[in-house]
Structure 1
Amino acid sequence: MGVLENKARARLFYKYLSKVYDQVNPFIWNEEMRDEALGLLDLQADDHVLDVGCGTGFATEGLLQHTEHVYGLDQSIHQMQKAWKKFGKNDQVKFHRGDAERLPFKDGSFDAIWSSGSIEYWPNPVDALEEFRRVVKPGHKVLVVGPDYPKSTVFQKMADAIMLFYDEEEAQRMFEEAGFVDIEHHIQQRKPGSPRAITTVARAPEK
């Protein structure tokens, strides 16, 4: 388990990263990549969508282009304070502080769930994905963006020491174990040589 797959360490890490996150993030995960991923979710204007690990609100901003019913959840108060300054003052987004592995919502609360840049910090990703399946409506989609596993052995060792990196095979295993169906994986990259993201879209089974 990587050093940042620990909730206390991750909160401390984001306490400081939150100060520069909006400046650093576009070099790894930009608007074009976000919007491409959003297209995979097929959102409708009246959908209620949960953004798990909303951070400073980069993905939240994209979700608001598709629906007015957006809920943001994060464990880092420092990240959420940034997001609240952007959207919370005008009640554009309903924010909740919470844990991906114990979502504070009733079964079937959402039409879709989005999570980008968060799974790599979850100590128990399958537990969180099971929570996603619980709170999304049966037959509806979830989308998770995480860091693709590096090809270089040197970078693999570095990645494993820091946080969760995974490939399509591991993503498939996690989503199947969590009970999802119709699982698809897409590799996204800002430009050749830059870090690769693995974007997984899956559907909760019909009851």
Structure 2
Amino acid sequence: MPRRRKHYPPVGEAAGKKRQVAAMFDAIAPRYDLLNRILSAGIDQRWRRQAVDLIAPEQPRRVLDVATGTADLAIEVARRLPVERVVGVDIAETMLQIGQEKIARLGLNDRVILRKGDAEKLPFSDAQFDAVLVAFGVRNFENLERGLRESYRVLRPGGVLVVLEFSHPRTPIIRTLYRWYAHHVLPRIGAWLSRDEGAYRYLPASVEAFPDGPDFLQRMASVGFQELLWKPLTFGIASLYRGRR
């Protein structure tokens, strides 16, 4: 079977990006979970657990998972916390379909709901959620500030936003090794398993363009978030960010 040749989203913030992001993730959806486990050696699951750990002290009852993908994070919340409802939104329909199948297999249909939705125009009224989570999604926003403002809007006063995202390792040797892996190994494995090398070349390029660390905290502060926290994970390959409305 020949590899797909497609146009992939521009990195960073750019007009028209969200449509291409949706098409890209729909294309790789059938192998998305498998590739995550292989390419991260399973560490991505630990990172998601740590994201849930950050909202657990808030004892949230209603949680929103933005850019939910195949719903791994929404499922983690529902399994570990006594929430009333977790709502996951994403613009990629095939990812949502796979996520819904996982939710049904786990018997979580009564607590986890998936909806197609745009992170920059969320289909919810103001102050609906106690916590908002975004895992590996903010770097794909067409307009980062607009997406953060929407998360702020749907949070109740005092609610928290937690973002899990890839970042730039600060230690030179780790940064060099990770860049080599991301640019040379990751696309080859991605192409082999998904037959879509372009998607796995977009990933490291989008990580490099993302304003991580203190720069991202400044973006959060600019839309109103307070009590900001930045926590690098696994030598800085990923980071957790938290802000309170």
TM-score band w.r.t. shorter chain: 0.7 to 0.9
**In structure 2, which of residues 156, 159, 166 is the aligned counterpart of residue 147 of structure 1?**
166
User: In terms of mean alpha carbon deviation, does 124-133 or 157-166 score higher?
Assistant: 157-166
- The two structures have a TM-score, normalised by structure 1, of 0.85
Identity over aligned pairs, percent: 25
Is 1:47 aligned with 2:61?
A: yes
Q: How big is each residue's C-alpha offset from its partner over 1:89-119, in whole Å with a ceiling of 9 and x where there is no partner?
A: 8343222111111111011000110110110
| Aligned residue type for 2:233 | Q
Q: Which runs of 5+ in 1 are unaligned?
A: none
**In structure 2, which of residues 115, 123, 144 is the aligned counterpart of residue 125 of structure 1?**
144
Displacement after TM superposition at 1:36 (Å): 1.6
User: In terms of mean alpha carbon deviation, does 26-35 or 55-64 score higher?
Assistant: 26-35
Q: Which runs of 5+ in 2 are unaligned?
A: 1-9, 170-174, 184-200
The answer (yes or no) to whether the contact 2:49–2:76 under 8 Å persists in 1 is yes
Displacement after TM superposition at 1:11 (Å): 1.2
> Take 1:162 and 1:186, find their aligned partners in 2: how far apart are those partners?
20
> Take 2:63 and 2:163, find their aligned partners in 1: how far apart are those partners?
13
Is 1:15 aligned with 2:15?
A: no
> Take 2:12 and 2:161, find their aligned partners in 1: how far apart are those partners?
27
Q: How big is each residue's C-alpha offset from its partner over 1:62-105, in whole Å with a ceiling of 9 and x where there is no partner?
A: 11121241001000001000111122583432221111111110
> Take 1:31 and 1:161, find their aligned partners in 2: how far apart are those partners?
22
> Take 1:4 and 1:13, find their aligned partners in 2: how far apart are those partners?
16
**In structure 1, which of residues 82, 85, 100 is the aligned counterpart of residue 98 of structure 2?**
82
Query: What residue is the counterpart of 1:59 in the other structure?
Result: 73
> Which structure dedicates a bigger proportion of its chain to strand?
1
Report runs of 4+ in structure 1 exceeding 4 Å deviation: 43-46, 154-161
The answer (yes or no) to whether the contact 2:230–2:242 under 8 Å persists in 1 is yes
Query: What residue is the counterpart of 2:214 in the other structure?
Result: 169
Query: What residue is the counterpart of 2:11 in the other structure?
Result: 2
**In structure 1, which of residues 39, 64, 73 is the aligned counterpart of residue 89 of structure 2?**
73
User: In terms of mean alpha carbon deviation, does 50-59 or 167-176 score higher?
Assistant: 167-176
The answer (yes or no) to whether the contact 2:48–2:164 under 8 Å persists in 1 is no
Please identify the structure whose Cα radius of gyration is greater: 2
Q: 1:185 to 1:104 in 2, by over 3 A?
A: same
Is 1:185 aligned with 2:230?
A: yes
Q: 1:43 to 1:168 in 2, by over 3 A?
A: same
- The two structures have a TM-score, normalised by structure 2, of 0.73
> Which structure dedicates a bigger proportion of its chain to helix?
2
